[in-house]
Amino acid sequence: MTSTPNMDKIEEAIAKLASSHLILTKKLNDLINRVVNLENTANPTPSPSSSSATPTPQIQPVTPHRLKLNVPRFDDSDPSGWVFKITQFFEFHSTPEAKRLTIASFYMDGPALAWFQWTTCNHQLSTWFGFLQAIEARFAQSPYEDPTKLFFKLTQKGTVKEYLTQFEALANRITRLSPASLLSCFISGLEPDVRREFQVLQSLTLVHAAGLARLQEEKILEH
C-alpha cells in the first residue's frame, strides 16, 4: 500500500510533536531536580550523629522568691519578746536546731553578749532549748514578781498609749485569762473620764476598746 503525500505530512508532524514532548519532559524533570537540590541545601536534614551531639536545652525550675529578713538583735531588754522573734525567724527559714545557737550568738550585744561569752567559755550552753531557758532565767523579770498581781493593779497614769503598752507587756506574761477578762481589766484601769465613754458604747474586743479609748482621750484633750 503506497502512502499519499498527505499521510506522509501527518506522520512527519506527529513525529515532530512526539520529539518536542520528550524534550519538554526532560527539561521539566531537570527543573524539578534543581528545585529539590536547592531546598535540601537550604534545610539540610541532620544526621543521627549530629542530632545526638546537640545538647537539649534544660528548663530550669522556677524557685519561689525567699523573703529576706533581718535577725533581731538582743542586748538585755525584753527577753521574752526577743525569744519569740528569734524563734519565729528560725521557724520561717527552717533553720536546723544544731545551727540556731551559733547563728544567734552573732546577734547579741552589750550585757547579753558578755553573758553569752561567759556561759560559752564555761560550757554552760550546749542546746538551743537550754539557751532559751537560760535567757529567760537570766534576763526576765524576777520570778518573785507576780505579773498577775501587777496586772490587776495596773491603772492609767499617763496617756492611753502608755497605759496600753504597760497593759500588753503584763498580759503577755499571763496566759490563763479569757478575752472577756482582759477586756474588763483594760476598761477598769482607764482614767474615769475616758472610761465613762464605755458606759454607752459596748466594745466587743480589746482592740476595739483600745481604739475607742484613744479617740475619747483625743476628744477630751481638744476641749
130 and 165 assigned to the same domain: no
Q: Which residue has the cell 476598746?
A: 209
State the Cα torsion 140-146-152-155 to the nearest 10°: -50
| Tens of pLDDT, residues 113-140 | 898 888 888 888 888 888 888 887 788 7
For range 2-23, the mean pLDDT:
64
Q: Is residue 127 part of a domain?
A: yes
> 96: pLDDT confidence band, cut at 50, 70 and 90?
very high
218 and 198 assigned to the same domain: yes
Domain count, the chain: 2
**Structural domain range at position 110:** 79-139
Q: Is residue 1 part of a domain?
A: no
155 and 215 assigned to the same domain: yes
Q: Of the residues 113, 139, 165, which one is the last residue of a structural domain?
A: 139
Residues with Cβ within 8 Å of residue 69, at least 6 apart in sequence: 89, 92, 93
Task: Give yes or no for residue 32 having a pLDDT over 80.
Answer: no
Q: Is residue 43 part of a domain?
A: no
